[in-house]
Amino acid sequence: MKKYLWGLLYSLGLAVFTVYLLLDTFVIARVYVPAPEEVPETKVTGEMLDIGIGDTPETEAEPISAMVTDSLYVDEQIAIEITRHRWDNSDVYVADILLMSPEYLKTALAKGVYGKNVTQTTSEIAEANGAILAVNGDYYGSRDSGYVLRNGVVYRAAGKRGRDVLVIGEDGVFSIGQEGAVTVKAMQSAGARHVLSFGPVLLKDGEVAVPARGLSGHATKRNPRTAIGMVEELHYVFVTVDGRTAKSAGLTVQSLAKFMATLGVQTAYNLDGGGSAAMFFNGQVVNRPTYDGKVIEERKVSDIVYIGY
């Protein structure tokens, strides 16, 4: 009888623990703090004293007059044009972006915090941050590792050795780094403003960087996709692909890379796709995001990449 009771208690405990793990992984929201910063020694210079480090200029922002249509946004600092293309039996949405300053290329976290299971739709995060244009990011919250550096702040320093990351510098230039080979804090010290961890890399120096073999099944199958790329300094493209429907099959990562090469992109990087793939522009979602091909709706995600003030 005792043996039976102990077995019953063990089975019950195991079941409770399994349920907790599932809830902790997929449901329970946890807000984390950024990875602790190492404060470097700073040598004060006369130039620093002259400009007043930490002072905020007391200037009134002038209203920006913009020309806005369903597919166009143009003002004195930002120009965006949305076009839709047909590629490999799929609908592809391209945002062609010209900026006067890299400061308008930004990232944002769901609900404004870094954490586990903290999610909102791309459009909700975009609207909360006043984004003109936005796409879903790398959905960092779906994994326990992967560098997370956003708007100059390191939130997660743990990475998977060998995984390629997209590094966006303070100057807005895109480059490719590798987790394990260089720490995220070293990237930050070298001038990185954002680091996105998903992949794979699509284009390097304008050439397709996706291997013909050796990728996971998801990458080699047709799926909805999101990617971002740099044509030249301060000239970018955001790309979103519809998929999993009769009208739009979706793309493999290699097909996506070939498409982005036709746009003149030099460096391109694949972000989270599938049900997460969404593009927001001027207050509305312009593509048809879907998880199963039946219901057209946005999936909640951890973060976005966006253009705005």
Please tell me the predicted confidence (pLDDT) of residue 44.
Answer: 31
Please tell me the predicted confidence (pLDDT) of residue 59.
Answer: 47
Please tell me the predicted confidence (pLDDT) of residue 118.
Answer: 97
Q: Which residues of 187-209 are buried (b: 16+ CB within 10 A; e: fewer)?
A: bbeeebbbbbbbbbbbbbeeebb
* pLDDT tens, per residue, the chain with 309 residues: 545 444 544 454 455 445 444 555 555 565 555 554 443 333 333 332 232 333 434 445 555 789 999 999 999 999 999 999 999 999 999 999 999 999 999 999 999 999 999 999 999 999 999 999 999 999 999 999 999 999 999 999 999 999 999 999 999 999 999 999 999 999 999 999 999 999 999 999 999 999 876 677 778 899 999 999 999 999 999 999 999 999 999 999 999 999 999 999 999 999 999 999 999 999 999 999 999 999 999 999 999 999 999
As a whole number of Å, the end-to-end CA separation of the chain is 70
Please tell me the predicted confidence (pLDDT) of residue 291.
Answer: 92
| H-helix or E-strand spanning residue 185 | helix 184-189
Tokens coding 46:
């006369």
Please tell me the predicted confidence (pLDDT) of residue 220.
Answer: 87
Q: Whole-angstrom Cα distance, residue 171 to residue 83?
A: 27
Global confidence as pTM? 0.81
Tokens coding 284:
């509305």
